[in-house]
Chain A
Amino acid sequence: MTTSAITHNSYLDMDLLRFTTAGSVDDGKSTLIGRLLYDSKSIFDDQVADLEKVSSRTGEGLNLALLTDGLRAEREQGITIDVAYRYFATPKRKFIIADTPGHLQYTRNMVTGASTADLAIILIDAKQGVVEQTRRHTFIANLLGIEHIVVCINKIDLVDYDEAVFNRIVADFDMVKKELNTDVTFIPVSALKGDNVVSRSEKLPWYKGPSLLQLLEGIQVRVPDAGELFTFPIQGRVGQNGNSRYTGRISSGVLRPGTTVRVHPSGEETTVEAIELYQEVKQEALPGESVSLQLSGVQLFNRGHLLADAEAKIRYTRHVLVDTCWFSETPLQKNHSYILAHVTGETSAVVAQVEDKIDFGNLERLKGEQTIGVNDIATLSLQLEEEIPAIAYRENRTLGSIILIDPDTHQTVAAGMIINRK
């Protein structure tokens, strides 16, 4: 019973770290994740048996990459098509991994994986060094507000564990990171051989830092938007007039009963009388929590309204500037009306202008572009049919993010981060 008591107590209150992996094709991302799962004993016997069965067909050793390549086409072609989510835990932390493909045409998946991540692992092939994809991935991680980047210089075994190669790549990467406000750590690894993935490798005595897993277990991640003023988009109302509860998820700040809040866009003030979830009445609710609120007076607020700290200055606007990643094979059409989805609401949006587009060769912004296509990242100026509470993504990930949907195909054609309001 001692074991279960330990499991019980420690497991019920564990910290969760979400990270994403990126790199160019054949950098060994899937192998690295496979190694992380395998060496941390997160792979079960029947999965290893499946792996041996499939690996034997190709005649090579145990192919760890197959652990994350879930679709038949991926196993057959030996590539990762889509984002794969993996879960593992150590006694110190729980992890959610978004493994994303390195192919140029799959950049949208890297953006997708990065959107929910606290940390990004970027792989560099020690034999190739920094390539255009490295710049692209680093730029994307930074654009999506990821504050911690871990650069794994992989296949270090193929360059004889040479410190000079490692140092040269670190120096090259400095050119990439000069404009980033991100914390960057470098680790020499061999995903194939397992060096520095879970435990420190004796073959790299010149490297004094932690293994990748040690770093992931120990890194302190800032709680997103905890220090900000309270904001709460209403998801919906439960119950009848006079006995209504307003449901939603706190997007920033900490809420306590008795707080005076303002309802946007109308501007009325009301007081939070009770914070509840099911039969529990809470004295405090944190960012990310789903709760139900009882507000003072007879109120009829609805889905789409935003509750915010009375001090918060929130302006509504029909014109936003958005850093956008274009996902669709169909290029952006000016004068085409897209659906803009924002928190719980939707409105129509037309692209007034392409302000600039990123050139991934030198990370400079090109002016005068008329349109953008798949995998382009650009600043767009959008004209909206209805006003939205435009808060910058840098201040609030939930309120500052949008997606664009084509009303004809229903496809998600772009994702964007609000950079300011006009």
Chain B
Amino acid sequence: MSLNHLQQLEAEGIYVIREVAWRFKRPVLLFSGGKDSIVMFHLARKAFWPEPIPFPLLHIDTGHNFPETLAYRDRLVKESNSQLIVRSVEDSIAQGKAVEETGIHASRNKLQTVTLLDALEELQVDAALGGGRRDEEKARAKERFFSHRDDFGQWDPKNQRPELWSLYNSHHAEDEHFRVFPISNWTEMDVWQYILREEIPIPSLYFSHERPVIERDGILLADSPYLVKTEDERPVLKEVRCRTIGDMTCTGVTVSPASSLDEIIAEVAATRVTERGGRADDKRSESAMEDRKIAGYF
């Protein structure tokens, strides 16, 4: 008689989210509309049920979202009576704090860090809950549940606090904050299985649909007004789905007929490429994620 793996992961996630609510003054839940943040939202809802989630959601809007993501976000906020705060990369650019990238690889992915750090400072956030998972990427594999950020919002991976049992050290100086990752121990498969078990609605982008795409460096990118194309790049219609959802300019889509959660799970089980394999933002260099995380990225 013991908990199975999904029950253990859920119990751990809820425990951590509750600790954040009772330890910090101004927590936020970073919400992108992707499957990991949807699972985080669901865990937070369970943690405080029947009361609403006692802290706001914070969406860092690149302005390059899939329209389906925004529709999903707004519906979720409305039906759960949650508080949503949106801060946009567009504003950071307008204020001269961030500079738009140019060329065909232009993306606002990196610029999000500027907007995120500004928002955390403006809102005096002392803990930002994120849906980062250790199995996503090699630098994330070293991440703590309670991850300390200095007064510049930066991560020092070589000087992390040891984290034992479920005893978290949440002490920090004024102007410093924590990023907290309750689903650290979940894999991509766990996330999908949990969505299936809990019958959590997800954006239609995750299921197979027809969409114009261009192929670049072996990655299929969704065509959109935000994507800068070369003359030779001609969008073609394909039956695709998103394995992760990020900014439209750098999220790869995969050719897939999967139109149900069961089919997605079978596909994830059989797949030979990691979920971030299609993320152009990670392809920039071997330590692209480590560099962005040190700078204060999600």
Contact = CB atoms under 8 A, between A and B. Distances in A.
Interface of A: 1, 3-5, 7-8, 11-16, 44-47, 50, 53-54, 68-73, 75, 81-87, 89, 94, 96, 108-109, 111-112, 115-116, 223, 226, 235-236, 238-239, 245, 247-249, 254, 276-279, 286, 288-290, 292, 303, 327, 339, 341-344, 397-398, 401-403, 405, 407, 410-412, 415
Interface residues of B, number: 67
A249 B272 contact: no
The 6 closest A-B pairs by CB, nearest first: A70-B138, A4-B266, A16-B5, A115-B164, A290-B14, A410-B171
Contacts of B49: 238, 276-279, 292
Given A4-B266, A289-B11, A223 B1 contact: yes
Interface of B: 1-8, 10-12, 14-15, 18-19, 21-22, 45-51, 134-135, 138-142, 157-158, 160-169, 171-173, 184-185, 187, 189, 193, 196-197, 262-263, 265-266, 269-274, 277, 286-287, 290
B156 to A, nearest CB: 11
B272 A44 contact: yes
Contacts of A238: 48-51
Given A116-B165, A339-B171, A401-B165, A44 B18 contact: no
B268 to A, nearest CB: 9
Contacts of B14: 249, 277, 290
Contact of B193 (A11, A15, A69, A73): A11
A47 B274 contact: yes
Contacts of A247: 18, 47-48
A344 B138 CA distance: 31
A403 B141 contact: no
Given A14-B4, A398-B165, 6 more contacts: A13-B4, A15-B4, A71-B287, A75-B286, A86-B135, A403-B167
A327 B1 contact: no
A69 to B, nearest CB: 8
Contacts of B10: 290
Given A238-B51, A239-B51, A249-B11, A71 B169 contact: no
Contact of B1 (A94, A226, A236): A226
B139 A70 contact: yes
Contacts of A339: 171
6 contacts: A108-B162, A112-B162, A116-B164, A116-B165, A236-B22, A344-B22
Nearest to B287: A72
Contacts of B140: 70
A278 B196 CA distance: 17
B286 A50 contact: yes
B271 A398 contact: no
A139 B178 CA distance: 33
Contacts of A403: 164, 167, 169
Given A44-B274, A112-B164, A3 B266 contact: yes
Contacts of A46: 273-274, 277
Contacts of B12: 290
Contact of B3 (A4, A44, A288, A341): A288
B102 to A, nearest CB: 27
B3 A289 contact: yes
Given A87-B135, A89-B189, A403-B167, A71 B18 contact: no
B172 A341 contact: no
A277 B198 CA distance: 12
Contact of A111 (B15, B18, B164, B286): B164
A401 B263 contact: no
A342 B272 CA distance: 43
A135 to B, nearest CB: 21
B165 A115 contact: yes
Given A72-B290, A289-B11, A290-B47, A344 B4 contact: no
Contact of B6 (A12, A87, A96): A12
Contacts of A50: 286
Contacts of A236: 18, 21-22
A1 B11 contact: no
Contacts of B263: 4
A84 B141 contact: yes
A372 B27 CA distance: 37
A85 B164 contact: no
Contacts of A68: 141
B4 A415 contact: no
Given A96-B185, A278-B46, A278-B49, A289 B271 contact: no
B2 A12 contact: no
Nearest to B6: A12
A162 B279 CA distance: 48
B265 A405 contact: no
A12 B265 CA distance: 11
B142 A71 contact: yes
A73 B1 CA distance: 43
A8 B265 contact: yes
